[in-house]
């Protein structure tokens, strides 16, 4: 491992995946059809068990990049937050801090 990489760095930023100004501009151009399709892709990769948001995003990333080349990957955790606000998902933590937060489908009662 190169000397400059330290996987145990305690100064690691939790929100190192915050969108850049360019990514924010790209996300603002997303259509409601884009949002619905990304939501469906996210829900397809979630389960009833808690999973890291990074795992859900990583699992969906190849299909996301193919179908939505005009959107940044950080749009997925933004949509995860929207799905949580709508009651479709439960999120523990900040979805933009993908490695530090978890998500699952809302338990059906």
Residue 62 structure tokens? 């190849």
What pLDDT, in 10s, does the model give residues 2-33? 444 343 444 545 555 678 899 999 999 999 99
Residue 72 structure tokens? 């940044």
To 10 degrees, the CA torsion angle through 102, 105, 106, 109?
-130
What pLDDT, in 10s, does the model give residues 58-99? 999 999 999 999 999 999 999 999 999 999 999 999 999 999
89: enclosing H helix or E strand: strand 89-92
What is residue 17's predicted lDDT score, i.e. its pLDDT?
65
* Range with the poorest average pLDDT among 54-58, 73-77, 104-108: 104-108
Residue 54 structure tokens? 């990074």
What is this structure's pTM? Answer: 0.82
Q: What is the pLDDT averaged over residues 50-54? A: 96
């Amino acid at each position: 491992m190169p000397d400059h990489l330290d996987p145990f760095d305690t100064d690691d930023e939790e929100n190192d995946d915050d969108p850049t100004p360019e990514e924010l501009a790209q996300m603002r151009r997303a259509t409601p059809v884009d949002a619905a399709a990304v939501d469906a892709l996210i829900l397809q990769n979630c389960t009833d068990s808690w999973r890291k948001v990074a795992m859900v995003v990583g699992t969906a990333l190849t299909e996301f990049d193919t179908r939505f080349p005009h959107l940044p990957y950080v749009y997925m955790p933004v949509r995860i937050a929207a799905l949580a606000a709508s009651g479709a998902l439960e999120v523990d933590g900040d979805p933009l801090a993908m490695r530090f937060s978890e998500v699952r489908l809302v338990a059906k009662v």
